[in-house]
Amino acid sequence: MALFLPSPRTIDQGSVPALRWGIIGTGIAGNFVSAMHAFTTQRAVAVAARDVGRTQVFAATHGIPVVHADPAALIASAEVDVVYIATPHPSHHDLALEAIAAGKHVLVEKPIAMSAAEADAITSAGRAAGVLVMEAMWTRYLPQSDVMRQVLADGVLGDVHLVRADFGFSMPFLPEHRMWNAELGGGALLDAGVYPISFISSVLGPPTSVVAHGAMTSTGVDARANLLLPSASGATGMASTSMVTCMPVTAEVLGTAGRLSVLSPFFGPSGLTLTTGSIGSEDSVTWRDETVTLHDGMHWQATALAAYVGEGRLESPVHGHAEIVSVMATIDEARRQVAADAGSFA
Ligand SMILES: NC(=O)c1ccc[n+]([C@@H]2O[C@H](COP(=O)([O-])OP(=O)(O)OC[C@H]3O[C@@H](n4cnc5c(N)ncnc54)[C@H](OP(=O)(O)O)[C@@H]3O)[C@@H](O)[C@H]2O)c1
pLDDT tens per residue across span 284-337: 999 999 888 889 999 999 999 999 999 999 999 999 999 999 999 999 999 999
Overall CATH class of domain 13-138: alpha beta
pLDDT at 346: 58
CB 129 within 8 A of CB 96: no
Q: Is 24 in the pocket of ligand 1 (CB under 6 A)?
A: yes
CATH architecture, range 140-299+314-340: 2-Layer Sandwich (3.30)
Q: Is 50 in the pocket of ligand 1 (CB under 6 A)?
A: yes
Residues of the chain below pLDDT 70: 1, 342-346
Does residue 38 sit in helix, strand or coil?
A: helix
CA distance 253 to 275: 10
Angle between helices 116-129 and 321-340 (to 10 degrees): 160
pLDDT at 339: 96
Partnered with residue 66 across adjacent β-strands are: 46
CA 136 to chain centre: 5
Atom of ligand 1 nearest to the CA of 92: 45
Does residue 136 sit in helix, strand or coil?
A: coil
- Could you give phi then psi for residue 169, rounded to 5 degrees? -160, 165
- Could you give phi then psi for residue 163, rounded to 5 degrees? -130, 120
Q: Is 25 in the pocket of ligand 1 (CB under 6 A)?
A: yes
pLDDT at 292: 82
CA distance 47 to 86: 11
Does residue 35 sit in helix, strand or coil?
A: helix
Q: Which residue, judged by its Cα, is nearest atom 6 of ligand 1?
A: 28
Q: How far is the CA of 220 from the centre of ligand 1 (A)?
A: 20
pLDDT at 315: 98
Greatest Cα pair distance, the chain, in angstroms, is 64
Q: Is 265 in the pocket of ligand 1 (CB under 6 A)?
A: no
Comma-separated ranges of CATH 3.40.50.720 domains in the chain? 13-138
pLDDT at 345: 60
Q: Which residue, judged by its Cα, is nearest atom 26 of ligand 1?
A: 87
Q: Is 136 in the pocket of ligand 1 (CB under 6 A)?
A: yes
Mutate to test the pocket of ligand 1, among 28, 171, 174 (most ligand atoms within 8 A of CB): 28
Q: Which of 308, 298, 322, 317 is nearest to 23 (CA)?
A: 298
CA distance 131 to 82: 9
Q: Which residue, judged by its Cα, is nearest atom 18 of ligand 1?
A: 27
* pTM for the structure as a whole: 0.97
CA distance 167 to 110: 14
Comma-separated ranges of CATH 3.30.360.10 domains in the chain? 140-299+314-340
Q: Where are the alpha helices (DSSP H) in the chain?
A: 29-39, 52-62, 71-76, 92-101, 116-129, 143-153, 188, 194-204, 299-310, 321-340
